[in-house]
Amino acid sequence: MISSRRERRRRRALAEPFPATWRHSIARRWAIWPTLAPDEQRRLEELVQQFVPEMRWEAAQGFAVTEEMQAVIAAQACLLVLEMESPSRTTCSPSTA
């Protein structure tokens, strides 16, 4: 039941276009963004779009977390997933480290 609810939430999130304000914030505040290929940017946007609504965002001491902040934080977190999906990923074993 939980997984079906999660899947519905993901499908709903992906049915909407990626918010332009998020894209602008990510591009402006994250130096890695322009180094990604266009297909990597699109995939990262999909991951961010799924990640943001699934997380519980909580600020401390009266600090307000905006949607743009959530998008930038999510992009940084989702980069790890994007790299795991990459076919050119380098394998590191104890003998090569």
CB under 8 Å to 34, separation ≥6 — which residues? 27
pLDDT tens digit string along 27-65? 999 999 999 999 999 999 999 999 999 899 998 998 999
DSSP-derived 3-state class of residue 60:
coil
* Domain coordinates in residue numbering, the chain: 2-85
CB under 8 Å to 92, separation ≥6 — which residues? none
For residue 81, with 0-12 CB atoms within 10 Å meaning exposed, 13-18 middle and 19 or more buried, which class applies? middle
pLDDT tens digit string along 68-77? 999 999 999 9
**pTM of the predicted structure, to 2 decimals:** 0.76
Q: Which two tokens stand for residue 36?
A: 């990604």
Can you tell me the distance from the alpha carbon of 25 to that of 67, in angstroms, rounded to the nearest whole number? 10
